[in-house]
Amino acid sequence: MTQVSLPQAGSGVGDSGPYTADDWAKFFEVAFTGDQAATQGVLRNYLNELEVTRSGITISIDTGAGFCYGHWLLNDTSVEITANACAGVETRWDRVVLVQNETAVAYNTNLLLPAAYAGGVPRNSCRIAILRGTCGSPGVLPALLTGPNIYMVELARYQMTGGSTGAITDYRDFCNFSSEIGADWIDNRTRRLFIPVMGGYLFTLTEENISVAYDDGSATAHAPNVSLPNDERSQGGATTAVPSDYLSGMTIKALIESPATGNIYGQTYAYWGECGGSYQSGSSTSGYIADSISGGSGYYNCLTPLSVAVPVGANENILNVTYRREGADPLDTLNERARLYGWIMEYTADS
């Protein structure tokens, strides 16, 4: 068979039915995800777009709908899943996924699910789950299954360290309706802004501010920056307005340069509020992470993205972003100053 069309009237004549579940799944897969079924699936602008957030070790997947290899899933109530701990300070990566089960039994291999589906993803069903990695394997992501009987599409990922979860990194890839036209449409709604650092603070010298400067003694900085010293606890920060066209999926990444290479041990965090209200009405933090700084002077390093769940539609949202370095910690092996230039903000716009 080289061509097929559906739906058609009648039964058993030409391309008319009856149609199988596989026929309809293939139709939806092609119509909504083109040739990107392994990554795409979330429906944009429906409910809360299956956004993933965390509170402690509770991972929450908001309402929304999407396709997993052509199989439609509707989630009209927020789903909560508890991420189990690793021993001691062991780490692992987990993925939040849509799972389509086409086996004859419930599927639960390496999955964490809400209590209602503790026995696994039911046969012939699609459900939201956490695909759990291996404790003690900090750099290894668990592999997504792509058939023949179990299919997965990723929504987000995070790192577990001991009994604590790190920041949620958004990996939703929205339905394009065709791989070429849709890709252009998505790109046209992606916005990137730069937030320059406004000032800094050195904790080990009481109330000592770090000024924004171009020349920090080496005359090789590329723009005004805050110099975060080695063997000290310091931070730089800035305040900006949430863009008026912000819709979803905001992430921020600290832009850092250093004359040396090694690991910088620090965290990015954000607070937001609105005029006339508390500046801490909401917050996100990456937790402390040992990020690799490469290249030496002249190389920009964009540190691990922090997902910032600013509510949509609030009036006059103000965003405060900070990067804090624990330079005296043994996990900080940079042994040099680090220049903080600011943060790259990326988000999906509403038009």
Here the CATH number for the domain that contains residue 102 is 2.60.520
Q: What is the pLDDT of residue 2?
A: 74
Single out the residue in 163, 188, 213 at which a domain terminates: 188
Per-chain mean pLDDT for the chain = 86
Task: Say yes or no: 316 and 209 in one domain.
Answer: yes
Does a structural domain hold residue 230? yes
Same domain, 194 and 333: yes
Tens of pLDDT, residue by residue over 5-23, are 888 888 888 878 888 888 8
Locate all alpha helices (DSSP H) within 127-215, ordered by sequence. Answer: 179-188
Judge if 229 and 311 occupy the same domain: yes
Q: Pick from 143, 168, 188: which residue ends a domain? A: 188
- Does some domain include residue 174? yes
35/184 same-domain check: yes
Asked whether residue 268 is assigned to any structural domain, the reply reads yes
Q: Where among 128, 154, 188 does a domain terminate? A: 188
Structural domain boundaries enclosing 290? 190-349
**140 DSSP assignment:** -
Quickly count: other Cβ atoms within 10 Å of residue 318's Cβ: 17
**pLDDT at 217 exceeding the cut of 70:** no
Instruction: Give the residue-averaged pLDDT of 291-301.
Output: 83
Q: What is the pLDDT of residue 194?
A: 96
Same domain, 141 and 246: no
pLDDT tens profile 222-280: 788 999 999 999 999 999 998 888 888 889 999 999 989 999 999 999 998 888 777 77
16 is a domain residue? no
Mark whether 155 and 36 lie in a shared domain.
Answer: yes
pLDDT for 30? 83
Looking at residues 179-207, what average pLDDT do you find?
73
User: Domain check: are 256 and 176 in the same one?
Assistant: no
DSSP letters for 238-284: EEEEPPTTEEEEEEEEEEEE-SS-EEEEEEEEEEEEETTS-TTSEEE
Burial of 230 per CB tally in 10 Å (0-12, 13-18, 19+): middle
Q: Are 96 and 160 in contact (CB under 8 A)?
A: no
101 and 223 in a single domain? The answer is: no
If asked whether residues 256 and 322 sit together in one domain, one would say yes
Taking residues 23-27, what's their average pLDDT?
Answer: 87
12 is a domain residue = no
| CATH number of residue 295's parent domain | 2.60.120.260
Question: What's the domain count of the chain?
Answer: 2
In a domain, 2, yes or no: no
Cα distance between residue 61 and residue 97, in whole Å: 10
CA distance 77 to 201: 43
What tokens appear for 324 in the block?
């804090």
